[in-house]
Amino acid sequence: MAAQGEDLNLEATELRLGLPGTVESEKQQAPPSGRSMKRNLIDVNNKCGSDKEESNGSSAQKCEKQDVHRPSKAQVVGWPPVRSYRKNCFQKKAESESTGVFIKVSMDGAPYLRKIDLKLYKGYADLLKDLQDMFKFKVVEYCEREGYNGSQFVPTYEDKDGDWMLVGDVPWNMFITSCKRLRIMKGSSEVSKGLKT
């Protein structure tokens, strides 16, 4: 951490409310309050200011490096200024988002299965791209009427009711909650032909 000596000097001359003799305890390591985070910045500025030989660019770089000490998920009370009600609405969403939706993916002819987390994908396009990379196959673009007509392989999934469905038929949000497993069928198989009609 930056020179302890400099910190103490600042403390001595700083006017703040508090009983004499109280020392700001180990806040440098994990600053929960914005005040300590700001102190980091003051140190950084002092250091940058005194290095007159260095060009602006590199002293700015130095500042950036020292900024990194700030822990990434440090929460400051009341910041950002979002009303509690609004925060609570989304904290619940965030909690459910943190648990992944892991499903098995099999492909006809492939010797072993893969497991993927559906929550990591933004939508069908994202998912299909990844599946094609993973299993080294290609599909044509999905269309509502024809499905994947013309593809050598057809992505399908088993839903909550045990039915085999064509990937892409339902909205993405509904898909990730109802999909139990994925199966990439050969386009020529009887089952996949059945799904097209």
Would you tell me which residues interact with another protein (CB under 8 A)?
14-19, 22, 24-25, 33-35, 37-38, 41-42, 45, 60, 63-64, 72-73, 75-87, 89-90, 93-94, 122-123, 171-174
As measured in angstroms, the least distance from the Cβ of 190 to another protein is 29
Instruction: Report CA dihedral (142, 147, 150, 155) to the nearest 10 degrees.
Output: 80
b (16+ CB within 10 A) / e for 32-53 = eeeebbebbeebbeebbeeeee
As measured in angstroms, the least distance from the Cβ of 187 to another protein is 28
Which two three-digit tokens encode residue 185?
């069928």
Q: Give the integer Cα–Cα distance in Å for 179 and 103.
A: 8
As measured in angstroms, the least distance from the Cβ of 146 to another protein is 21
As measured in angstroms, the least distance from the Cβ of 110 to another protein is 32
Q: Give the integer Cα–Cα distance in Å for 121 and 172.
A: 10
Query: What element of type H or E holds 195?
Result: helix 190-196
Q: Which CB sits closer to another protein, 27 or 196? A: 27
Tell me which DSSP letter residue 86 carries: H
- Give me the amino acid identity at 136: K
Q: Which CB sits closer to another protein, 149 or 177? A: 177
Which two three-digit tokens encode residue 82?
């979002």
Q: Give the integer Cα–Cα distance in Å for 29 and 37.
A: 10
Q: Give the integer Cα–Cα distance in Å for 60 and 48.
A: 7
As measured in angstroms, the least distance from the Cβ of 29 to another protein is 15
As measured in angstroms, the least distance from the Cβ of 51 to another protein is 15
